[in-house]
Amino acid sequence: MGKTLVIGALGQIGSELLDALYELRGVDQVIASDIRFPSSPIKGTFEKLDIMDREALIALIHQHDIEEVYNLAAILSAKGEKNPLFAWELNMTGLINTLEAARTTSLSRIFWPSSIAVFGPNSPRDMTPQFCPMDPSTVYGISKLAGERWCEYYALKYGVDVRSLRYPGLISYKSLPGGGTTDYAVDIFHEAIKHAQYTVYLSADTSLPMMYMPDAINATLSLMEAPVEQIKLRSSYNLAGFSFSPSELVAEIQQHLPAFTCDYVPDFRQAIADSWPDSIDDARAREDWGWKPTFDLAKMTQDMLANLKVGTV
**Where does this chain bind ligand NAD (CB under 6 A)?**
7-8, 10-14, 34-36, 49-52, 72-74, 76, 90, 113, 115, 167, 169-170, 177-178, 180, 182
d(CA 162, CA 156): 10
**Nearest CA to 263 among 190, 194, 184, 193?**
184
DSSP conformation letters of 271-308: HHHHTS-SSB--HHHHHHH-------HHHHHHHHHHHH
Closest separation between CB of residue 77 and ligand NAD, Å? 8
Output the smallest distance, CB 272 to ligand NAD, in A: 13
Does residue number 91 form part of the binding site for ligand AKB (CB under 6 A)? no
Q: Return d(Cα 70, Cα 16) in angstroms, integer.
A: 13
Phi, psi values for residue 254, rounded to 5°: -65, -20
165 forms part of the interface with ligand AKB (CB under 6 A): no
For residue 76, the minimal CB distance to ligand NAD (Å) is 5
Per the annotation, the verdict on 140 as an active-site residue is yes
Cβ(260)–Cβ(208) below 8 Å: no
* CB of 33 or CB of 181, closer to ligand AKB: 181
Of 279, 277, 270, 271, residue with least CA distance to 203: 270
181 binds, among ligand AKB, ligand NAD, none (CB under 5 to 8 A by kind): ligand AKB
Catalytic residue among 140, 154, 173, 237, which?
140
User: Measured from the CB of residue 113, what is the shortest distance to ligand AKB in angstroms?
Assistant: 8
Burial class (CB in 10 A: 0-12, 13-18, 19+), 68: buried
Alpha carbon distance 282, 145 (integer Å): 17
Residue 218, contacted partner among ligand AKB, ligand NAD, none, CB below 5-8 A by kind:
none
Question: Who's near 40: CB < 8 A, 6+ residues apart?
Answer: none
Residue 36 binds which entry of ligand NAD, ligand AKB, none, CB below 5-8 Å type-dependent: ligand NAD
Cβ neighbors of 121 (< 8 A, separation 6 or more) are 135, 137, 274, 275
Cβ neighbours around 36 below 10 Å, total: 9
- Taking the complex as a whole, the smallest distance from the CB of residue 33 to ligand AKB amounts, in Å, to 21
Q: Are 65 and 42 in contact (CB under 8 A)?
A: no
Tell me the closest approach of the beta carbon of residue 119 to ligand NAD, in angstroms: 12
Q: Is 211 in the site for ligand AKB (CB under 6 A)?
A: no
Distance CA 150, CA 173 (A): 33
Select the residue interacting with ligand AKB from 73, 76, 151, 192 (CB under 6 A): 76
Q: What does 7 interact with, of ligand AKB, ligand NAD, none (CB < 5 to 8 A by kind)?
A: ligand NAD
Measured in degrees and rounded to the nearest 5, phi and psi for residue 29 equal -95, 0
In this chain, which stretch among 13-21, 39-47, 110-118, 212-220 interacts with ligand AKB, using CB under 6 A? 110-118
In a 3-state reduction of DSSP, which class is residue 95? helix
Contact partner at residue 77 from ligand AKB, ligand NAD, none, CB < 5 to 8 Å by partner kind: ligand AKB
- Give which of ligand NAD, ligand AKB, none residue 13 binds (C-beta under 5 to 8 Å, depending on kind): ligand NAD
Q: Whose Cβ is closer to ligand AKB: residue 64's or residue 278's?
A: 278
Indicate whether 181 belongs to the interface with ligand AKB (CB under 6 A). yes
Footprint of ligand AKB (CB under 6 A): 76-77, 115-117, 140, 169, 180-182
Q: Which residues are catalytic?
A: 140
